[in-house]
Amino acid sequence: MINTQLFPLIPLPYYKNCHMKHLLLLTLFIILTISCNKDEIGLNEKNITTADLIGCWNHDYEIQTNNKETTYLMTKCEAKDFPNSWFRYSLIFEGNDKGSELLLAQNDAHSYSEIIWSLSGNRLTIDGTFQQVEYNVEVISEESIILTTN
């Protein structure tokens, strides 16, 4: 019980409400603290570098939820075991601004074709055998990026 003689001008019901408000605020603070993962905060603002792209990337269309015609969710090849598929778009970026992309021919053949790539800010340009494409690159995690065409 709160000693009202120490604080005679403040009525007793105020103390009860005050403690409940503090308890509620403390509970909300704890829930927000637990639910926020600081490793995920700000990943999209990360400046991507060419070193971030070096390696093999596969189109992870099984978990992609947005437009698959203009957007590619790319995950590092070694990040997970991808299920078997008829065709999975794949990019390999090498450190000398060269690389390769897995292409699907009209006769259903799969082959890697050489590419030249460059990164300027978040704009990735891929100059391949059959096309030149520009993508906006968005970092989702250390193992996934999103490539979006205009």
When the pLDDT of each residue in the chain is averaged and rounded to a whole number, the result is 77
Residues 12-70: tens digit of each pLDDT: 555 455 566 666 677 767 776 776 654 444 444 567 888 889 999 988 887 776 776 67
In the chain, the amino acid numbered 52 is D
Partners of 127 in the β-ladder: 116, 132
What CATH class is the domain 43-149?
mainly beta
Q: Is 76 exposed, middle or buried (0-12, 13-18, 19+ CB in 10 A)?
A: middle
Which H or E element spans position 112? strand 110-120
Can you tell me the distance from the alpha carbon of 87 to that of 108, in angstroms, rounded to the nearest whole number? 9
Domain boundaries, the chain: 1-36, 43-149
Q: What's the whole-model pTM score? A: 0.63
In the chain, the amino acid numbered 11 is P
